[in-house]
Amino acid sequence: MQGWQIRVRGQVQGVGFRPFVWGLARRAGLVGHVLNDAEGVLVRVAGPRAALEAMRAALEDEAPALSRVDAVELADWAVPDPAPEGFDIAASGPAGAETRVTPDAATCPDCLAEIRDPGARRYRYPFTNCTNCGPRFTIIEGLPYDRPKTTMAPFGMCPACRAEYEDPGDRRFHAQPIACPDCGPRAWAEADGAELEGEAVALAAEALLAGKIVAVKGLGGFHLACDATDAAAIERLRARKHRPAKPLALMAAAGVLARHAAPNAEEWSLLREPAAPIVLIDKAGDPLPDALAPGMAALGWMLPYTPLHHLLCAAVGRPLVMTSGNMSGAPQAVGNDEARRALAGLADLFVMHDRTIARRLDDSVERVLPSGPVVLRRARGRVPGTLPLPEGFGSAGQVLALGGQMKAALCLTKTGQALLGHHLGELDVAETWSAWQQALADYRALFDHHPDVVAVDLHPGYRATQAGEAMGLPVIGVQHHHAHLASVMGENGWPLDGGPVAGIVLDGLGLGADGTIWGGELLLGGYRGFERVAWLKPAPLAGGDAANREPWRNTLMRLDQAGLGALADALMPDKPREVLRRAVASGVNAPLSSSAGRLFDAVAFALGAAPERMSYEGEAGMRLEALAATSGTRQSWPFAVAGGEIDPAPMWRAWAAERDRPAAEAAMMFHRGLAAAFAGEARALVAAGRAEAVALSGGVMQNAVLLAALLEALEGVPVLLHHGVPAGDGGLALGQALVAAARSA
């Protein structure tokens, strides 16, 4: 008999890994034990070598669906005398934070069948789960992942649940959130602070079908729901939430969804993943009210991902708006009392439950782009998944990266892994800033993180930057667009010494290394440093921050630059043009910026695709993309390139000369022209041997039309793209962490 100690690292707790190992060992006649500890799963096993080798292979090849095995490490085990008589699941080892925490997972088919079966004891029970599904990160309060360290601790198991929990052959063996109607959490409906008689789901369905707005407590917080076929209900929700135009997320069972959309195979695959994200899908089939996403070609859909959602969707039989339970801009409510206060003026009815939410998590948002599936907002179902640090970062210490001001997210590096945190929002909102501070303390405590260095954005006005500088630790400032470049390099495993990369980084705004405002850049470099090789010709941000909200200001500046001031006067006769021109000429509140985002705003307004004042970030650019997507033209507008400067003036003059051209065609020609200009400069760097590959990053890279044009223009060149890390500021912290690790190594 030979003895092995097998260490399994990765996402291996809370996914049924121990009963999986128990089953393998029992079937092979092996003896020993398996347990959870601070580093993952530890197996001590003895038996014939052939059986041990077969078990070792199965640990990776047949691992449970929710697990992610990073490493399987072998060592000899001195088999005690006498040897164990069988194979057991031992008590968990000491607490620690060297293992990964499993994200929340959508209801599995087995649990869904139970809640639909009138003969099952969990029939219509809203908190049904097993080791293959259910809450994880939103209930965990400490490691290792055991029930006493979750928000399920107050719910003592009834004898029936205890029997399932202790049976290694049951799919609920050591399922920490295990519950049933006799012993687990309960749901109820209430109005005006008073609980209503009747089943919560039935009361909520009745209210939704009557056009009312219902606050529903989910996994990571509250949603505000209404009937997505009811235009009046949608308008009421928008008015109460102060959200005039930003797209609203939808939830529906697969059959209902298919009546209003036509997901392709990749989109269906995303929808059905355990993460159950919101997926942007083009409108199709039976039309829904345009007020769901004004001016957009796609709607954001998700399938029900908790038993409560499944029951509610089945009872209503229609698509539901399922948007964050908050006032626009504020974090979503998570606690019952918090929801009663924050949502009192928004919801007509509340669906509450008494399981505490340990941390707020928005829904993840994803999309299938020409490059494949990508994450736009990384949140529920995706966090706290980790990414391996690229080759060359093995000796990197612990780094804490604090991200930016918009779409804030944190990143922690430890033991060769980077943990990119969840979407937190805009830090200029007081409630979001408080949530950011809570998330920082939460991640550091949960993962026992003790950073050697803090990485921050160069902008001194960012709250995250100020917080990093106040920590009393060494601080490394990382230029915004360099962080974007490092982020996409890191996601693709580009080695620390893998050679320079040409990075096309297009976004809204970021403080440049020269003190000006960047946003349309071609960078050349790696993790340790970069050179700015080309950039959009800067234009004044007339009125400062106002230019980020009012697209016409950018149109005015770009037309003036192109010598088309008279056209600008004709396009916007009622705007204070001369006042702005005098302010710009005097250098008053008009910083120069190479922002690609503001150029998109300018074109969108000129083509009639943008409102005079945007109600959410990126609205003008998203509308311009939707407009361009309706044209199949292969033509493009010209851009001038000289001395590293990419000047859109020729594009404006060409458009002015052909203003009778359909707006959709003009929008597509702009996208293709911009892509050709940047791709041409990047290709030249690769052809000259100065770059090994081209990387695409920045928030504008979430534009499917632009990305398709760039990939076409870069055909034959190695290209690094985002997939699981957001291209926008939600991925910024990963890049900051890698740059800081490279510089401090």
Answer left, alpha or beta for residue 324, where phi above 0 means left and psi between -120 and 50 means alpha. Answer: beta
Average pLDDT over residues 434-439: 92
Tell me, yes or no, whether 578 and 667 share the same domain: yes
Tell me, yes or no, whether 541 and 615 share the same domain: yes
Which has the higher per-residue pLDDT, 208 or 92?
A: 208
Domain CATH code at residue 674: 3.30.420.40
Considering Cα of 194, then 196, then 200, then 205, what sign does the dihedral take? negative
Per residue in 126-167, pLDDT (tens digit) is 999 999 999 999 999 887 778 999 999 999 999 999 999 999
For residue 300, what are the β-bridge partners?
Answer: 280
Q: What is the DSSP letter of 731?
A: G
Which candidate, 25, 630, 666, places its Cα nearest to that of 282?
A: 630
Tell me, yes or no, whether 539 and 679 share the same domain: yes
List the single range of 155-159, 428-432, 685-689 with lowest mean pLDDT.
428-432
Q: Does some domain include residue 657?
A: yes
Annotation says 318 is catalytic: no
CA separation, residue 457 to residues 400, 430, 463, 730 (Å) = 12, 20, 10, 13
**Pairing relationship of beta strands 40-47 and 187-191 according to DSSP bridges:** unpaired
Other CB atoms closer than 10 Å to residue 177's CB: what's the count?
26
Cα separation of 629 and 676, whole Å? 17
Other CB atoms closer than 10 Å to residue 515's CB: what's the count?
8
Other CB atoms closer than 10 Å to residue 69's CB: what's the count?
18
Cα separation of 431 and 315, whole Å? 35
Residue where one domain finishes, among candidates 185, 213, 237 = 185
Phi, psi (5° rounding) for residue 690?
A: -85, -20
Which has the higher per-residue pLDDT, 96 or 744?
A: 744
Read off the pLDDT band of 94 (50, 70, 90): low
Which candidate, 714, 719, 721, places its Cα nearest to that of 683?
A: 714
Tell me, yes or no, whether 573 and 700 share the same domain: yes
3-state secondary structure 515-529: CCEEEEEEEEECCCC
Q: Does some domain include residue 163?
A: yes
Asked if pLDDT for residue 718 goes beyond 70, the answer is yes
Read off the pLDDT band of 16 (50, 70, 90): confident
Cα separation of 9 and 394, whole Å? 16
Tell me, yes or no, whether 180 and 201 share the same domain: no
Q: Are 117 and 79 in contact (CB under 8 A)?
A: no
Domain CATH code at residue 395: 3.30.420.360
For residue 301, what are the β-bridge partners?
Answer: 250, 279
Q: What angle do CA 418, 420, 422 make, to 5 degrees?
A: 160
Domain CATH code at residue 34: 3.30.70.100
Say if pTM beats, i.e. exceeds, 0.75. Answer: yes
Asked if pLDDT for residue 37 goes beyond 90, the answer is no
Q: Print the domain residue range for 161.
A: 101-185
Q: Does some domain include residue 667?
A: yes
Which candidate, 339, 389, 405, 368, places its Cα nearest to that of 279?
A: 368
How many domains are contained in the chain?
A: 5
Tell me, yes or no, whether 124 and 37 share the same domain: no
Average pLDDT over residues 380-404: 93
Cα separation of 236 and 289, whole Å? 13
Cα separation of 507 and 484, whole Å? 10
375: helix, coil or strand? strand
Average pLDDT over residues 199-213: 98
| Alpha carbon 328 to chain centroid, angstroms | 18
Q: Out of 7, 9, 27, 36, which one is annotated catalytic?
A: 36
Read off the pLDDT band of 665 (50, 70, 90): very high
Asked if pLDDT for residue 397 goes beyond 70, the answer is yes
Per residue in 241-285, pLDDT (tens digit) is 999 999 999 999 999 999 999 999 999 999 999 999 999 999 999
Tell me, yes or no, whether 577 and 709 share the same domain: yes
Which candidate, 477, 504, 476, places its Cα nearest to that of 488?
A: 504
Asked if pLDDT for residue 629 goes beyond 80, the answer is yes
Burial class (CB in 10 A: 0-12, 13-18, 19+), 230: buried
Helix (H) or strand (E) holding 715: none
Q: Does some domain include residue 743?
A: yes
Tell me, yes or no, whether 260 and 243 share the same domain: yes
DSSP for 38-67 reads TTEEEEEEEE-HHHHHHHHHHHHHT--TT-
Annotation says 18 is catalytic: yes
Domain CATH code at residue 106: 3.90.870.30
For the chain, give the percent of residues with pLDDT over 90: 90
Tell me, yes or no, whether 79 and 129 share the same domain: no
Residue where one domain finishes, among candidates 162, 185, 208 = 185
Between helix 619-628 and helix 663-687 the angle, nearest 10°, is 100
Report the mean per-residue pLDDT for the chain: 95
Read off the pLDDT band of 115 (50, 70, 90): very high
Q: Does some domain include residue 503?
A: no
Which candidate, 252, 300, 697, places its Cα nearest to that of 486?
A: 697
Cα separation of 146 and 174, whole Å? 8
Half-sphere exposure of 289 (CA within 13 A, CB side): 20
Q: Out of 7, 9, 18, 318, which one is annotated catalytic?
A: 18
Amino acid residing at 168: P
Asked if pLDDT for residue 691 goes beyond 70, the answer is yes
Q: Does some domain include residue 128?
A: yes
Instruction: Give me 259's structure tokens.
Output: 């009546």
Q: Does some domain include residue 522?
A: no
Tell me, yes or no, whether 66 and 113 share the same domain: no
Tell me, yes or no, whether 176 and 229 share the same domain: no
Q: Are 545 and 639 in contact (CB under 8 A)?
A: no
Read off the pLDDT band of 97 (50, 70, 90): low
Residue where one domain finishes, among candidates 61, 89, 117 = 89
Q: What share of the chain is helix, strand, coil (3-state, %, to 5)?
A: 35, 20, 45
Which candidate, 538, 533, 523, places its Cα nearest to that of 644?
A: 533
Instruction: Give the pLDDT score at 740.
Output: 98
Average pLDDT over residues 657-665: 96
Average pLDDT over residues 529-545: 97
Tell me, yes or no, whether 681 and 538 share the same domain: yes
Q: What angle do CA 219, 225, 230 make, to 5 degrees?
A: 155
Instruction: Give the pLDDT score at 96.
Output: 56
Q: In what order do the strands lie in the sheet with 87-89?
A: 68-76, 2-11, 40-47, 31-37, 87-89
Q: Does some domain include residue 371?
A: no
Read off the pLDDT band of 39 (50, 70, 90): confident
Average pLDDT over residues 191-196: 96
Asked if pLDDT for residue 668 goes beyond 60, the answer is yes
Cα separation of 284 and 294, whole Å? 15
CA separation, residue 640 to residues 469, 645, 678, 708 (Å) = 41, 8, 11, 21
Which residues make Cβ contacts (< 8 Å) with residue 277, sequence separation at least 6?
270, 271, 302, 363, 364, 365, 366, 375, 380, 381, 382
Q: What angle do CA 209, 210, 215 make, to 5 degrees?
A: 75
Q: What is the DSSP letter of 292?
A: G
Per residue in 608-625, pLDDT (tens digit) is 999 999 999 999 999 999
Amino acid residing at 695: A
Cα separation of 131 and 222, whole Å? 24
Half-sphere exposure of 191 (CA within 13 A, CB side): 12
Cα separation of 476 and 453, whole Å? 7
